[in-house]
Amino acid sequence: MKQDRHIHVAFVGNPNCGKTTLFNAVTGAKLKVANWPGVTVEKFEGNIEYEGYQIKLVDTPGIYSLSCYTIEEQVTRKCVLDDDIEAIVNVVDASSLERNLYLTLQLLELGKPVILALNMMDIVKERGMEIDLHRLPEMLGGIPVVPVSAAKRTGLDILLHAVVHHYEEGPKENVMDYGPELEDKISRLEVMMQARYPSHAMTRWHAIKLMENDEQVAGEHPMEITNVVDRSYEKEIIQKKYQYIEEVVAETLFHKERMAAGTDRVDRLLTHPVWGVPMFLCIMALVFFLTFAVGDFLKGGFEVALGWISDGARALLTAASASDWAISLAVDGVIAGVGGILTFLPNIFILFLALGILEDSGYMSRVAYVMDGIMGKVGLSGRAFLPMILGFGCTVPAIMATRALETEHDRRKVMVITPFMSCSARLPVYVLFSEMFFPENPMLPAFSMYVIGLVLAILVALAMNRLEKGRINDSLLIELPEYKRPNPRTIRVYVWNKLKDYLTKAGTTIFVASILIWFVLNFGPQGMVAQTADSFGAMIGKVLVPVLAPAGMGMWQIAVALISGISAKEVVVSSFSVLFGVSNANSAAGMQTILDNIRAVDPSFGALNAFCLMLFVLLYIPCAATIGTIKKESGSLRFTLGLMGFWLLFAWACSTVVFQIGSLLF
Amino acid sequence: MTLYEGKKGCAYKVRDMLMEEGLMRRLQALGLNEGTDVRLLNRKKKGALILSVRGTRLAVGRHISEHIEVEPEEDER
């Protein structure tokens, strides 16, 4: 019996095999899950207590192999090689056992305790396949094999039980034989390792990696091995593993020829050579249609509630004989700024519900395939399109998702264009200005922003590719998962996380920004001012008016809104609410007030100006959170600052061109 | 012939793979080796195609499919 009853366990497996679902089910965490490879790009930790053990679980990015070719592989490999990890739960998608076992064989070579969690057994049954649960562990060196269903939360206790017990038992002997020639070299290398690094625990794994010419292993434990390893034996080693897997599969998996015909039928339509792209555009159009139409339908209740709160707060503060500035701060500052944003919650809810269903269905990988031709022409693989779709929800996770791309160069390119995908924070700006200035057909200009953003993103990528004389990229490689019915639990967690983020943002960033905006608009060099025109805000804004005028935005109020919008894009709307003392910008009355006020300042401010403003908001510097993420992910301040300058100039140039040409036409 | 020249719905056996080391290793880790049976599930006229390999589906670009030498297999379907 060990003294310390702490176990450190890593969840390792192929991409999209259900590691994170299982991790969530075991730990009660709420990490994002979706049905496309590469959702988890960082490791996450969680703690649970089981049978008196403190188990520390680590969820890792999905990998196909323990090599170092991708960022995910590097992250996960570093994690499992860490001496702290005492046991590995190898999560395996039982419905594609053959491919998944390749990683299993590599994990077994580490010599650490491995527990096989056979996930998705329900799908295996559904398809009429059978797995011999007695023969499988026998052929894998006697490790415990536990059938689980992460989605239905079955088998979890048995799994934890196996973790605790296998941990105490320790590892088993070698599973497979590479044949006399390779085994001879491996054992010679092992002897050399033991002589040179006596404390080393994973000699067999290291020996095999040395045979594969793995640079990292060779660099960490340098040895003169040229007399044993004259070339890379990686190909032979991989082939031997798959040969063994074929034996395993032949003995343990039955009826494997019965493939899921449903996925093929759906794919015939969704990945059609001609109709694939139009189908994708229709699906996205439907998502945004629902966001606007259903979201607007739901927002009525919010308006009433917000009206009550606003009036109630004013009455309460007046009754408590609070000073004028306190009432103004609470009602015109905080309630206007934060409350106005909260009324867009129904739209945000519908948007994320739709995106969640899309991500969980298995369609995302298909989009990478469908868009590969277009993306290839701008020098990116179809995979680069996945972060861009995520950008429709929020740019921050989209930037993180670029980790799944092959090269650092591609990642940076995608970071340049991803903010052009209209995120949910731009939605309030579009809704507000479309409904104010395009009352007959508000959905059209709002929609157009999504399309314009997408088109400009591709054009900018194309320009970058031309500038660096890049060629067509056609090295797409992505796994296409089976389609499945979206899991209500997964969707609920996904949508709730997004709404929570939105509410948190409203309570923190937007709250603080609203107070700051209120302050700069109500105070001037002489103290509190009666007219906002005498405030600090006006002074700052007026400096920028000559710059913004050619783009049709020559109002100091807009300058203030745009500057504050860098904290978070919704704050552009908050600014207008605070500026004109509107408690609910998303109501007919609120919009009328803002419209009247804008017209009072500049009677010529019309639909074209509003369109240019929306365009500018789409393209200019993204929110502070995005900038922070780009800085972190690119690791370069210079790159980040350069990008900010580019976005600002690009936004200004586009808006100016549209406004100048538009002014001539209309 | 190369995989790129393959027809939709047909089965092939991989004969040889000739491409950069890193990419080839990744494909091999996915189970695409010399001697592996693949089936072409779908394809665009010029460009990416969808393969069935060892019970999973992979979408691969032209760069990959052009550098995989295959031979047609008797179709048992």
CB neighbour class for A272 (10 Å; exposed up to 12, middle 13-18, buried from 19): middle
Give yes or no for a contact between A434 and A443, defined as CB atoms under 8 angstroms apart.
Answer: yes
Q: Closest approach of chain B CAs to the CA of A25, in angstroms?
A: 25
Same domain for A24 and A87, yes or no, is yes
Question: pLDDT at position A132, please?
Answer: 94
Three-state DSSP string of chain B: CEHHHCCCCCEEEEEEECCCHHHHHHHHHCCCCCCCEEEEEEECCCCCEEEEECCEEEEECHHHHCCEEEEECCCCC
Question: pLDDT at position A578, please?
Answer: 86
Question: pLDDT at position A4, please?
Answer: 60
Query: What's the rounded Cα separation, in Å, for the pair A560 and A579?
Result: 9
The answer to whether residue A111 sits within a structural domain is: yes
Average pLDDT over residues A150-168: 88
Question: pLDDT at position A42, please?
Answer: 83
Angle, helices A607-619/A556-564, rounded to nearest 10 degrees: 30
Question: Which helix (H) or strand (E) element contains residue A154?
Answer: none
CB neighbour class for A319 (10 Å; exposed up to 12, middle 13-18, buried from 19): exposed
- Average pLDDT over all residues of chain A: 89
A433 has pLDDT over 90:
yes
Same domain for A40 and A147, yes or no, is yes
Indicate the range of A263-267, A272-276, A654-658, A661-665 predicted with least confidence. A263-267
Query: What's the rounded Cα separation, in Å, for the pair A122 and A125?
Result: 5
* Domain of residue A93, residue span: 6-169
Same domain for A34 and A164, yes or no, is yes
Residue type, A167: Y
Query: What's the rounded Cα separation, in Å, for the pair A262 and A270?
Result: 12
- For residue A367, CA distances in Å to A363, A415, A482 come to 7, 19, 14
Interface residue A261 vs chain B (CB under 8 A): no
Interface residue A256 vs chain B (CB under 8 A): yes
The answer to whether residue A307 sits within a structural domain is: no
Write the residue in A69, A268, A372 that is nearest to B48 by C-beta: A372
Q: Do A64 and B53 touch (CB under 8 A)?
A: no
Greater confidence, A546 or A321? A546
Question: pLDDT at position B76, please?
Answer: 55
Q: What would the pLDDT profile of A306-338 be if each residue is shown by its tens digit?
A: 778 888 888 888 888 888 888 888 888 888 888
Count of the separate structural domains present in chain A: 2
Same domain for A242 and A154, yes or no, is no
Instruction: Name the pLDDT band for A391 (thresholds 50, 70, 90).
Output: very high
CATH number of B3-72: 2.30.30.90
The answer to whether residue A300 sits within a structural domain is: no
Question: pLDDT at position A590, please?
Answer: 86
Instruction: List chain A residues with CB under 8 Å of B42.
Output: 267-268, 271, 273
Query: What's the rounded Cα separation, in Å, for the pair B50 and A366?
Result: 10
Give yes or no for a contact between A412 and A642, defined as CB atoms under 8 angstroms apart.
Answer: no
Which two tokens mark A395?
């740019």
Give yes or no for a contact between A30 and A496, defined as CB atoms under 8 angstroms apart.
Answer: yes
Average pLDDT over residues A245-263: 81
Same domain for A232 and A90, yes or no, is no
Question: pLDDT at position A63, please?
Answer: 93
Instruction: List chain B residues with CB under 8 Å of A273.
Output: 42-45
Same domain for A105 and A238, yes or no, is no
Domain range list for chain B: 3-72
Question: pLDDT at position A405, please?
Answer: 86
Same domain for A146 and A212, yes or no, is no
Instruction: Name the pLDDT band for A2 (thresholds 50, 70, 90).
Output: very low
- How many residues would you count in chain A? 666
Instruction: Name the pLDDT band for A260 (thresholds 50, 70, 90).
Output: low
Write the residue in A234, A268, A474 that is nearest to B25 by C-beta: A234
Angle, helices A234-252/B21-29, rounded to nearest 10 degrees: 10
Give yes or no for a contact between A612 and A622, defined as CB atoms under 8 angstroms apart.
Answer: no
Nearest CA in chain A to B17: A235
Looking at A254, A288, A320, the residue that finishes a domain is A254
Could you tell me the CATH number of the domain that includes residue A91? Answer: 3.40.50.300
Share of chain A above pLDDT 70, in %: 98
Looking at A213, A236, A254, the residue that finishes a domain is A254
Give yes or no for a contact between A166 and A143, defined as CB atoms under 8 angstroms apart.
Answer: yes
| Span between the terminal Cα atoms of chain B, in Å | 22
Q: What would the pLDDT profile of B1-50 be if each residue is shown by its tens digit?
A: 999 999 999 999 999 999 988 889 889 989 999 999 999 999 998 889 99
Greater confidence, A118 or A5? A118
Interface of A with B in 76-115 (CB under 8 A): 95-99, 102
Instruction: List chain A residues with CB under 8 Å of B47.
Output: 372-373, 376, 474
Question: pLDDT at position A133, please?
Answer: 94
Q: What would the pLDDT profile of A220-234 be if each residue is shown by its tens digit?
A: 888 888 888 888 888
Instruction: Name the pLDDT band for A170 (thresholds 50, 70, 90).
Output: low
Give yes or no for a contact between B71 and B16, defined as CB atoms under 8 angstroms apart.
Answer: no
Residue type, A225: I
- Average pLDDT over all residues of chain B: 90
Q: What would the pLDDT profile of A469-516 be if each residue is shown by its tens digit?
A: 878 888 899 999 988 888 898 899 899 999 999 999 888 888 998 899
Could you tell me the CATH number of the domain that includes residue A239? Answer: 1.10.287.1770
A376 has pLDDT over 80:
yes
Average pLDDT over residues A235-258: 88
Same domain for A211 and A76, yes or no, is no
Question: Which helix (H) or strand (E) element contains residue A57?
Answer: strand A53-59
Give yes or no for a contact between A65 and A106, defined as CB atoms under 8 angstroms apart.
Answer: yes
A554 has pLDDT over 70:
yes
Average pLDDT over residues A602-619: 94
Q: Do B50 and A271 touch (CB under 8 A)?
A: yes
- Count CB pairs under 8 A between chains A and B: 116
Interface residue A597 vs chain B (CB under 8 A): no
Query: What's the rounded Cα separation, in Å, for the pair A151 and A554?
Result: 55
Greater confidence, A481 or A339? A481
| DSSP letters spanning A81-141 | HSTT--EEEEEEEGGGHHHHHHHHHHHHHTTS-EEEEEE-HHHHHHTT-EE-TTHHHHHTT
Same domain for A13 and A123, yes or no, is yes
| DSSP letters spanning A527-562 | EE-SSGGGSHHHHHHHHHHHHHGGGT---HHHHHHH
The answer to whether residue A528 sits within a structural domain is: no
A301 has pLDDT over 80:
no
Nearest CA in chain A to B33: A239
Q: What would the pLDDT profile of A21-79 be if each residue is shown by its tens digit?
A: 999 999 988 888 887 787 888 888 999 999 889 999 999 999 999 988 888 888 899 99
Instruction: Name the pLDDT band for A295 (thresholds 50, 70, 90).
Output: confident
Q: What would the pLDDT profile of B50-77 be if each residue is shown by its tens digit?
A: 999 998 899 999 999 999 999 998 765 5
Which two tokens mark A537?
């805000």
Looking at A112, A137, A169, the residue that finishes a domain is A169
Same domain for A138 and A216, yes or no, is no
A608 has pLDDT over 50:
yes
Question: pLDDT at position A1, please?
Answer: 46
Same domain for A204 and A116, yes or no, is no
Nearest CA in chain A to B44: A273
- Residue A270's Cβ-side half-sphere holds a number of Cα atoms within 13 Å equal to 21
Same domain for A161 and A192, yes or no, is no
Q: What would the pLDDT profile of A568-588 be if each residue is shown by its tens digit?
A: 999 999 889 888 878 788 888
Question: pLDDT at position A256, please?
Answer: 65
The answer to whether residue A103 sits within a structural domain is: yes
